[in-house]
Amino acid sequence: MNTAAYGSWPSPVDAALTAAHDGRPEYPGAVGDELWWIAPRPAEGGRRALVRRRADGTEETVLPAPWNVRNRVLEYGGRPWTAADRPGDGPLVVFCHFPDQRLYAYEPDAGPGAEPRPLTPVSAVGGGLRWADPVVHPDRGEVWCVLEEFTGPAPTDVRRVPVAVPLDGSAAGDRTAVRELTGERHRFVTGPRLSPDGTRAAWIGWDHPRMPWDGTEVLLAEVAPDGTFRDARTVAGGPAESIPQADWDAAGRLLLVSDRTGWWNLYRAAVGDDGALSEPVALCPRPEEFGGPLWKIGLTWFAPLENGLVAVVHGTGTTSLGILDPERGELVDAVGPWTEWAPSLAVHGTRVVGVAAGPYSSYELVELDTRTGRARVVGAAHTDAVDPAYYPEPRVRTFTGPGGREIHAQLYPPRHPGFTGPAGELPPYVIRAHGGPTGHDPLVLDLEIAYFTSRGIGVAEVNYGGSTGYGREYRERLREQWGVVDVEDCAAVATALAAEGTADPARLAVRGG
C-alpha cells in the first residue's frame, strides 16, 4: 500500500468516464412477452431510445436515431410512450418525439419501410402542444393522455387537460379532432386510468399555489359508451393531502397513495353505484413511504397484479420492491443488492419489472417472479466501468442539527486499492447538497462521488430537512425556510465531521443545492 497526501491519489475515474455513464433506464413496460423501456444514449447527443428485449433475451433499438422518445410536459417531462400488443398484427407503439413534441404511432414489425406516422398537430403558439402519460385503447381507436397546450407567448399561458387522440391520424393536422375528455379544470393533471369494466376513469389534479407533494385531488368520472366523461367529481385528497398515484385493481376498486397520516401509504376504496368512494382503508400502515413527489407525470410507486397482489416501492431513506397481500397486510420484499427502486413499475402476469440500483451497481432493469420470489437482472445490466475497488464505500449516518433535529446523510470516505493517507492527516471532504426542495440523494453507485473518493477526498451527501423519503414533517421543514434549514443542516454535518475527527476542518467544501 502506497502513502500519499489525501486528494493526490491517481484515479482511473475521470470526467469523461463519469459523463459517459450519466442517465438511467426509465419507464419499462410489458408488450406481449417482451419488455420495453427508455434507454439514455449520452454518446448520441443525449437522446432517449426505445429499446425492446425479445422473448429470447436479445435487445434491440426500436427506433433509430434521430428519433428521441421524450417530452417536455411540466418541463421535467413525463412518461413518453405506450404500446399495445396486437396478436397477429404485432405491437403498436405510441410515443412523443422530443424535437417537435408530437405524438407518433409506429408498427415496428410491419416490415421494411415502416415509418412512424404523426397523430397530433404542431402549434406555433408559445411552447406549442405537448403530450404525456399515454395509454392506448385499441378497442376505442384512441390513445388517452395529458395535453399541455400553450395558449399564448408567456410561460403561464398554458392549460392541461386529459384528452383522447384518434389513432387513425385524423388529428395530425387538426387540433379540433383531439377530444377533451372532461370539462373539469385543474392547472395540473395526470393521465386518466380506465377501470377494468370500462365504466369509470380516475385521474389526479392540483392547482397553484400547491405542489403535488402538498395537496392533490383524485377525480372520478363515469365513462359513457361513446367515450365521453360524465359527472366528474373529486373523491379524495385536498389542500393538505398529497396523492401522487391512483389506479384500479383487478376487482375494480381504487388504489391510491396518500400521506394523510404523515407518511405516503397505500389505500384501497370501493366505488359505489352512485360514483361515491368508500372510506379508503390503509392496506399496510407503516411509518415509511409508499410514494414520493410527483415530479413527472406517469410515475408509478405501485402496480396491481391480476391475482390481487400489489407490487410496491417502499421504504425510509432507502427503498425496496415489495409484494403486498392487501387482504392480510403482509409485505414480502425482493431479495437482492438493490437499495433504490425508481417509481417506475411494470407488470406482466405474475412478474414485476422495475428500475433498481445499489451501492455497487448502477440502475438496471430487474424482474421479480412473484411465484418463486426470484429477482434477476433482465436489461440494461450494470457493467463495471473500472475496478470496483475504486467504488465508494457508503456509510448511512444520522446527525443532530439545530434544536436537536435529525439530519439524514450518506458518508463516503476516501477509498483506493493502492493508496492511503499519511498517518495523522485528515482527509478533505465535499459536503454535497442535492437540488430541492424535495430531492433526495439515493444510496446508489455514483461515479461522480467515486471521482472524489478515489482521489482521497471524502463526500457527504446530506438529505437535509425538506428531502423526501422521511415523512411529511421532515420534508415540510423547508416550508418558508428554504435557504435556512438546508444551509443549517449542511453546516451541521460539516461541523460534526470535523469535530469527530473524520474530516480536516481546514479543507471542507460545500457544493450543490
For residue 2, is it within any domain?
Answer: no
For residue 41, what is its C-alpha cell? 444514449
Q: Tell me, what's the pLDDT at 122?
A: 97
Count: domains in the chain: 2
- For residue 444, give the CATH number of its domain: 3.40.50.1820
Residue 303 has what DSSP assignment?
A: E
Given 379, 396, 420, which residue is the final one in a domain? 379
Q: Tell me, what's the pLDDT at 437?
A: 85
Query: How many other CB atoms are there within 10 angstroms of residue 160's CB atom?
Result: 21
Could you tell me what percent of the chain has a pLDDT over 70? 100
Given 335, 350, 379, which residue is the final one in a domain? 379
pLDDT one-digit tens code per residue, 393-403: 999 999 999 99
Same domain, 312 and 461: no
Q: Which domain holds residue 173?
A: 15-379
For residue 9, is it within any domain?
Answer: no
For residue 5, is it within any domain?
Answer: no
**Cβ density class 296-325: b for 16+ within 10 Å, e for less:** bbbbbbbbbbeeebbbbbbbebbbbbbbbe
At which residue does the C-alpha cell 410512450 appear? 81
Q: Tell me, what's the pLDDT at 513?
A: 72
For residue 393, is it within any domain?
Answer: yes
> What are the φ and ψ backbone dihedral angles of 259, each rounded to 5 degrees?
-105, 30
Same domain, 441 and 300: no
Same domain, 351 and 402: no
Same domain, 95 and 211: yes
Same domain, 47 and 110: yes
- For residue 160, give the CATH number of its domain: 2.130.10.120
For residue 7, is it within any domain?
Answer: no
Could you tell me what percent of the chain has a pLDDT over 90? 94
Spatial contact of 263 and 213, defined as CB atoms under 8 Å apart:
no
Same domain, 334 and 422: no
CA distance 404 to 406: 7
Same domain, 327 and 448: no
320-325 and 406-412 as β-strands: parallel, antiparallel, unpaired?
unpaired
Looking at the predicted structure, is the pLDDT value of residue 75 above 90? yes
Query: How many other CB atoms are there within 10 angstroms of residue 256's CB atom?
Result: 25
AA letter at 89: D
For residue 328, is it within any domain?
Answer: yes
For residue 302, is it within any domain?
Answer: yes
Same domain, 456 and 314: no
User: Which of 6-10, 131-135, 378-382 has the weakest average pLDDT?
Assistant: 378-382
Same domain, 342 and 400: no
Same domain, 163 and 303: yes
Q: Tell me, what's the pLDDT at 113?
A: 86
Segment 308-329 shows an average pLDDT of 98
Spatial contact of 140 and 163, defined as CB atoms under 8 Å apart:
no
For residue 222, is it within any domain?
Answer: yes
pLDDT one-digit tens code per residue, 448-476: 999 999 999 999 999 999 999 999 999 99
pLDDT one-digit tens code per residue, 89-134: 899 999 999 999 999 999 999 988 899 999 999 999 999 999 999 9
Same domain, 313 and 443: no
Please state, in angstroms and as integers, the Cα–Cα distance from residue 217 to each residue in 158, 199, 206, 244, 470, following that order: 20, 20, 6, 9, 22
pLDDT one-digit tens code per residue, 183-208: 989 999 999 999 999 999 999 999 99
Run of H or E residues at 373: none
Given 358, 379, 400, which residue is the final one in a domain? 379
pLDDT one-digit tens code per residue, 328-343: 999 999 999 999 999 9
Please state, in angstroms and as integers, the Cα–Cα distance from residue 416 to each residue in 40, 264, 358, 388, 475, following that order: 29, 40, 19, 10, 35
Same domain, 241 and 160: yes
Considering only CA atoms, which of 28, 33, 94 is closest in space to residue 63?
Answer: 94
Q: Tell me, what's the pLDDT at 473?
A: 98
Q: Tell me, what's the pLDDT at 20?
A: 83
Sign of CA dihedral 170, 27, 241, 441: negative
pLDDT one-digit tens code per residue, 33-43: 999 999 999 88
pLDDT one-digit tens code per residue, 222-234: 999 889 899 999 9
